Structure 1
Amino acid sequence: MNGKTDQPGPLARILSSQVRAEVFRLLFGLSESEFHSREIQRRSGLAFGTVRQDLKKLEQIGLVKARRAGNRVYYRADRGHPLYKDIHSLVLKTAGLAEVLKRSLSVDGVQVAFVFGSVAQGKEGAESDVDLMVIGDLGRFELSAHVA
């Protein structure tokens, strides 16, 4: 699924960067997965060079961690960074939980997905988690690669 749109969303307008907004959406959204730089480029629909450059900047300032495996570099959000919770919250508020879930779960094998619990009831607090039911043919490991 290509996350690129003609009009920049609220996060891109806040950050003044569509590239940074897409990187944040993928790394600071719901997934705790790490992504190869080409996967980030593919999912965002943006130019590889600009995605790679932005990832390097985010690694330098400590917002993302990089893991090298051979000639590949995998990136993930640094959940221990002091700004992680704020950026995560900003991504969910600007992209919207429904949009983040839709993008994360638009994969073969997912038939139905829905949120339940405090978030579904509109009673969530700052420390609430998201209770998610997924019905389909994906195993737990495969599903966790898309949503954590």
Structure 2
Amino acid sequence: MGAGWRGLLACKCCLSAPFKSMVAVKTSDAMAPCPFSPPSPPCPICGQPTTTCVTRTSNRNGNAGRPYLKCGSCRKFITFVDKRGISSKNPECVCGKASRIQVAGKGKGRGLHYVCQSGACDFFDVARNKDGDQISLTEKLVEDLARILI
């Protein structure tokens, strides 16, 4: 790279804690657009702009390195911005698109649920088995799936 460079450009969100130690940044004061996606949609909660960020490599929920939207104003996680969990077989959300299936975090039982794929609406539905119980995954299975990026 040319003079003045220490590494990759980083978006404003990636430069804030806890991401600051993970990225190398251009030495100029100019803030770079996030390289992971096109312009982000507004926050569905407050309407302010969202920022694309990337989860830490140390993420313990199986999401290391995944890009996601975060509201800069209300500081809320909005949605992941990849295709993981999106399938035409999933139920439609309020937006009329196939929802995203995802796994609840470690402290929430690792249950499967559906959410709006773009974070534009508040769609939420529990994934249930034939007996009507929520489908849950073992910690080992979550780790194995994350390792192969499913």
Structure 1-normalised TM-score?
0.23
Which entry has the higher C-alpha Rg, 1 or 2? 2
Larger RCO of the pair (alpha carbons < 8 Å, separation 6+) = 1
More helix by share: 1
